[in-house]
Amino acid sequence: MSTAEKTFSKGLEGVIAAQTEMSFINGTEGILEYVGIAIGDLASKSSFEETVFLLWNKRLPSRSELESFTQSLRANYGLCDEMITQIKSLPTDAEPMHVIRTMISMLSLYDTNPNENSVEAAREKALNILAVTPMIVAAFDRHRRGLEVVAPDASLGFAANFLYMLNGEKPTDAMIRAFDICMITHADHGLNNSTFAARVVISTLSDVYSAITAAVGSLRGPLHGGANEGVMKMLNLIPSVDDAEDHVMNMIKNKERIMGFGHRVYKSKDPRASELMTLAKQLADDTGNMDLYLKSNAIENIMEREYASKGIYPNVDFYSATTYHCIGLKLDLFTPMFVLARIAGWSGHVIEQLGDNRLFRPTTDYVGPHAAPYVSIDDR
Ligand code: ACO
């Protein structure tokens, strides 16, 4: 390609850098589909396990295929003793996202063949990473609270098992379903920053662990998955619904970004935000957190008035905050929940990339000087 044909797009906006059969997004109309199925249908009718099968196989499973996939996932729930010992040695004030990034990287040390990159091997590694990461999060959280690590229960589904390992007691059906919906809505989302990071890394034929580790590092940024924690911090700073107007208008006056709003692709309401809004309202009602939902709703109305003309609407992180709070999760576990779900998408993209790989190697627009004299250090 000649220099004249090369184009520059800051932040790669609008650049098509990969093909996928997993998720389709129409940002103008607010549509998200996984393998052609509307996210709303999956959120209301499917399970996380079925959604992962769909993303990895590009079709819904038969009953027996789903059963077999679920059993394989459950068979992988447990972490090896060495990993649990490592988790118990971590500083109790470490941030969970740093812990997850470190421990997923460490999983490669206990894989006898970490560099095997056939599509089949990548699928097995992905299944294992997906299955054990909930235990990494739950075990670390219990370690920092001075509690015994709870072993996984293979009779439980993905959502129920995580909440059980975290709290040491079986969750209610309502909590399991709510958590499962969060997992479904966060499972995949085109070539977002963390997914791109995963694809870039695996395109060097590095290894699945390195790719997922890079993706975790990307996701924790406040402009990406870390925004859900930012939303909760903002909600905590607003004493009541009546204070929302002044608080948000002050933020706008100070040119602060309102976390949970805006999206590179969506210029209308993120359909995941719509799903999570309904869920947040129900959970807030069930758990006595209606004030949180009402504050969120008031912020959404103010933002609609002030920013809808710029195409800035709630994104997936906005109502996740209320949802996760109502599920009983601590603030610094919000972004880790995004990880648990998004491992499905990252892995699916890694598998797609390995199936038809070409090294990612874009170029830069050099804007520095040319033919500059080398001035010796004594003369500078
Ligand atoms: N609050 C206030 N203003 C905003 C917001 C916001 N949340 N989002 C965008 N804007 C404004 C910017 O200030 C900028 O205004 P200007 O043109 O007057 O300078 C304009 O909209 C465009 O902003 P960019 O950052 O260039 O747009 P981009 O497409 O990169 O934005 C992003 C996407 C980074 C997500 C942005 O909307 C943002 O920072 N949102 C808050 C953080 C957040 O919620 N992130 C989660 C996104 S979803 C996800 O990653 C899972």
| 335 has pLDDT over 70 | yes
pLDDT for residue 264: 94
From ligand 1's centre to the CA of 232, what distance in Å? 17
The pLDDT tens digits of the residues spanning 18-29 come to 999 999 999 999
Atom of ligand 1 nearest to the CA of 315: 48
Could you state, in order of their start, the residue ranges of all structural domains in the chain? 227-327
| 3 has pLDDT over 80 | no
Contacts with 347 (C-beta within 8 Å, 6 or more apart), sequence order: 56, 122, 123, 126, 129, 130, 208, 212
From ligand 1's centre to the CA of 224, what distance in Å? 10
pLDDT for residue 1: 59
Neighbour-count burial of 278, counting CB atoms closer than 10 A to its CB (0-12 exposed, 13-18 middle, 19+ buried): middle
Q: Which residue owns the Cα nearest ligand 1 atom 36? A: 262
Ligand 1 contact, 345 CB (< 6 A): no
Instruction: Name the average pLDDT for the chain.
Output: 96
Query: Distance between CA 219 and CA 188 in Å, rounded?
Result: 13
pLDDT for residue 4: 53
Ligand 1 contact, 191 CB (< 6 A): no
Determine the average pLDDT of the residues in 291-310.
Answer: 97
The pLDDT tens digits of the residues spanning 106-123 come to 999 999 999 999 999 999
pLDDT for residue 311: 95
Query: Distance between CA 173 and CA 20 in Å, rounded?
Result: 34
From ligand 1's centre to the CA of 262, what distance in Å? 5
From ligand 1's centre to the CA of 318, what distance in Å? 13
pLDDT for residue 342: 98
Q: What is the Cα gyration radius of the chain?
A: 22
Query: Distance between CA 207 and CA 368 in Å, rounded?
Result: 35
User: Is the domain defined by 227-327 classed in CATH 1.10.230.10?
Assistant: yes
Residue from 257, 296, 310 to probe ligand 1 pocket by mutation (most atoms less than 8 Å from CB)? 257
Confidence of residue 236 (pLDDT cuts 50, 70, 90): very high
- As beta bridge partners, residue 189 has 191
Residue from 312, 320, 334 to probe ligand 1 pocket by mutation (most atoms less than 8 Å from CB)? 312
Question: In the chain, pLDDT over 70 holds for what percent of residues?
Answer: 99
Ligand 1 contact, 319 CB (< 6 A): no
Catalytic residues: 263, 317
Ligand 1 contact, 341 CB (< 6 A): no
Atom of ligand 1 nearest to the CA of 318: 44
SS (H, E, C) the chain: CCHHHCCCCHHHCCCCCCCCCCEEEECCCCEEEECCEEHHHHHHHCCHHHHHHHHHHCCCCCHHHHHHHHHHHHHCCCCCHHHHHHHHCCCCCCCHHHHHHHHHHHHHHHCCCCCCCCHHHHHHHHHHHHHHHHHHHHHHHHHHCCCCCCCCCCCCCHHHHHHHHHHCCCCCHHHHHHHHHHHHHCCCECECHHHHHHHHHHCCCCCHHHHHHHHHHHHCCCCCCCHHHHHHHHHHHCCCHHHHHHHHHHHHHCCCCCCCECCCCCCCCCHHHHHHHHHHHHHHHHHCCHHHHHHHHHHHHHHHHHHHHHCCCECHHHHHHHHHHHHCCCHHHHHHHHHHHHHHHHHHHHHHHHHCCCCCCCCCCCCCCCCCCCCCHHHC
Ligand 1 contact, 188 CB (< 6 A): no
Token pair 């990993």: residue: 83
Contact of 321 with 235, CB cutoff 8 Å: yes
Residue from 263, 269, 270 to probe ligand 1 pocket by mutation (most atoms less than 8 Å from CB)? 263
The pLDDT tens digits of the residues spanning 72-84 come to 999 999 999 999 9
Tokens in use for 5? 């044909």
pLDDT for residue 320: 95
Query: Distance between CA 171 and CA 243 in Å, rounded?
Result: 34
Ligand 1 contact, 226 CB (< 6 A): no
Ligand 1 contact, 35 CB (< 6 A): no
